[in-house]
Copies of this chain bind each other. A is one copy, B any other.
Amino acid sequence: MFRHLFHLTKDGSATLQQQVREQISKAIIEGHIPLDLPLPSTRELAAMLSISRNTAVIAYQDLVADGYLISRDRSGYYVDPQIFAGKLRHTASDSRASEHTPDWQHFIKHPLASKRPLRQHQWQQAPYPFIYGQLDPNLFPLKRWRECVLDSLRPQAAKQWSSDHYDADDPLLIEQIRSRLLPGRGIWAQSDEILITVGAQHALSLLLTLLLNNRTVFGLENPGYPDLQRMAALTGSSVRSLQIDQQGLMTGAQLTVCDLIFTTPSHQFPTTVTMPIARRRQLLQQAAESNFLIIEDDYESETSFGSHPTPALKSLDQDQRVIYIGSLSKTLSPGLRLGYIVAPAPLIRELRELRHVMLRHPPRNNQLAAGLFLERGYHDSLVRNLREVYQARWTIMKDSLAELLPDSSVPPVFGGSAYWIESSAVSNSQALQQQAQQQGILLESGARFYSLAAQASTFRLGYSSIATDQIRPGLEKLAALIHSMKRADKM
């Protein structure tokens, strides 16, 4: 460890002894040397730094005198624990602050952190986590995933994935997506029409970077996915909020000015309504007439439990105007960050090059393990399992809500992993979110999904993250809270 800690220079700006003292004291103050670890002996230090033993002895003596080190008989020099007593520990930043420190506001061209939404990092500790985008960890198919990972670590396999692939994806994963996942959505694609991404968010980021600039108009559903506004802002594009109704995105005049639109036909995000076939055909026809492209985010299509899932918008697309996004985050794990884009080959070629410039490719070891997982049918049986679990949870949600919150509206189509609620009993869903959190109930206010005129009576209850037997007790507590807040409003 110590060999790495110190670097002496011989350019005359400080004596060797000064440098030794300065570097050791800095390492102590910053907490890099454990209290119970002896420092190198003076002989070792001298050899390590190619300095005279005398220089080392004097440096240590000075450090003892200054209170940094103590000398213990026979066992050498140690950090003096007193050095931290009554002192604020310095941080690296503090000790480097100077008048020449840059003004970050000047340098940061796209500040985003101030618009940062609230995130529930510790959701697993809450008793009633009705949150979205998380999977119940008990549903993760650990044994089968481990088997695939182990097989990806055989010597020949590891030789393949461990090298630099410039811009290429794992052929097995591509083939499995092509022949196993996509046909289930009515989509027939060739290998050169598929690109793997670091999750669906990365797919969107690539597409917006490639297709938008400060002369384009990007249309997105309202309510919709809030991160897309922030992504589009990076490209300089103008953003247009698009109206939805009970059939999802509305066609007509609002679309004609757009160059690119984002839509979620299988379950509108976040309201979960499904776009019927007739509306899908209208949308495609309008795309051809008004010359715009469509990004279809088909999240959660696999876990839809309707008996006749509607085919993807892309499967109806005769004009190659639909760019399809899928991911393994909603089935296998969001922590793995694996998604994909299906689009015409000329577009995929450009996206592949952009991906190369941005980060080369998603990690190849995970691509291979996921390919094996799909090939063995483990994803199919995972999806079957999730579908059963979600259907059972959805039924409990439906029955409990009908009983406990009878004045909440019920969306016309079901599936996926969340329930969108509009309740006349709720007058301020942000306040509800905060008060519910204090009782261990995690939900999302609908407000953050609206770019225009947020509806304060809307909120979302996810049920992929919460254990089935916690749903009813959680909803009982929530209904009691909503009623007590309503009574308080009236007083």
Q: Which A positions have Cβ atoms within 8 angstroms of B?
A: 1, 4-5, 7-9, 11, 13, 26-27, 30, 32, 50, 91-93, 96-98, 100-102, 104, 107-113, 116, 119, 121, 124, 133-135, 137, 140, 142, 145-146, 149-150, 153, 155, 158-159, 161-168, 179-180, 183-184, 186, 188-190, 193, 197-199, 201-202, 205, 209-213, 216, 227, 230-231, 234, 259-260, 277-278, 281, 288, 291, 293, 308-311, 315, 317-321, 329, 333-338, 344-347, 349-350, 352-354, 356-366
Contact of A188 among B32, B124, B337 (CB under 8 A): B32
Q: In angstroms, how far is the closest chain B Cβ from the Cβ of A79?
A: 15
Number of copies of this chain in the oligomer?
2
Known: A121-B166, A135-B162, A137-B158. 5 other contacts (CB 8 A): A4-B184, A50-B308, A96-B317, A100-B319, A205-B358
22 contacts between A and B (CB under 8 A): A1-B183, A4-B180, A4-B184, A11-B278, A91-B190, A93-B344, A98-B320, A102-B291, A102-B319, A104-B346, A107-B211, A107-B259, A108-B211, A140-B159, A161-B335, A162-B333, A164-B335, A205-B357, A336-B364, A337-B359, A337-B364, A365-B366
Q: In angstroms, how far is the closest chain B Cβ from the Cβ of A236?
A: 9
The complex places the Cα of A277 from the Cα of B310 at a distance, in Å, of 66
Q: Which residue from chain B places its CB closest to the CB of A103 in the assembled complex?
A: B291
Q: In angstroms, how far is the closest chain B Cβ from the Cβ of A187?
A: 8
**B209 pairs with A234, CB closer than 8 A:** yes
Q: In angstroms, how far is the closest chain B Cβ from the Cβ of A123?
A: 8
**B347 pairs with A363, CB closer than 8 A:** no
Contact of A101 among B100, B159, B319 (CB under 8 A): B319
Given contacts A32-B183, A230-B357, A337-B363, contact A163 B124 (CB under 8 A): yes
The complex places the Cα of A329 from the Cα of B260 at a distance, in Å, of 36
Contact of A153 among B97, B146, B277 (CB under 8 A): B146
The complex places the Cα of A475 from the Cα of B225 at a distance, in Å, of 57
The complex places the Cα of A1 from the Cα of B26 at a distance, in Å, of 64
Chain B residues with CB under 8 A of A107: 211, 259-260, 293, 347
Q: Which residue from chain B places its CB closest to the CB of A311 in the assembled complex?
A: B7
Q: Which residue from chain B places its CB closest to the CB of A34 in the assembled complex?
A: B179
Chain B residues with CB under 8 A of A335: 161-165, 363-365
**B163 pairs with A110, CB closer than 8 A:** no
**A227 pairs with B190, CB closer than 8 A:** no
